[in-house]
Amino acid sequence: MESCKIIIPAVCITEKGECIINRTEIKGNKINETMGILCKYGDIVVKDSKIHSHLAGGIHILSNKNNTVKIANSRIINNKHVGM
C-alpha cells in the first residue's frame, strides 16, 4: 500500500470567499505537512501577522485580476518550499 501525503492548510479561502487576517500568528509544526494559508480565487488581506514554520509553505495564492490580495507589515518566515 502506498502512503498518501496529505497537506493541511491552517486557513483555506475558496472561490468568492473573503478573509481578513489581522494581528494573527499562524504556526506550523514539525510533524504534519502543513501550509499557512491556501487562497484559491478568493479575496484575502493579511496585516500585521506572522506565518511561520510550515513544512509545505507559508502562503499559496491562486488569483485572477478581479481578486483582492493584500499583504502588509507581516512576517512570512521559516517556511519550507515557498514563503509566499
DSSP of 4-22, one letter per residue? Answer: ----EEEEEE-TT-EEEEE
Q: Is 35:61 a contact under the CB 8 Å cutoff?
A: no
The two counts, helices (H) then strands (E), for the chain are 0, 9
Predicted confidence (pLDDT) per residue in 19-47, tens digit: 999 999 999 988 889 999 999 999 999 99
Average pLDDT score, the chain: 93
Q: Is residue 84 part of a domain?
A: no
* Neighbouring residues of 48: CB distance < 8 A, sequence distance ≥ 6: 22, 23, 72, 73, 74
63, part of any domain: yes
Domain assignment of residue 29, given as a range? 8-77
82 found inside a domain: no
pTM value is 0.89
Confidence of residue 1 (pLDDT cuts 50, 70, 90): very low
In the chain, how many domains are there?
A: 1
Does any domain span residue 41? Answer: yes
Residue 19 in contact with residue 42, Cβ under 8 Å?
A: yes
3 belongs to a structural domain: no
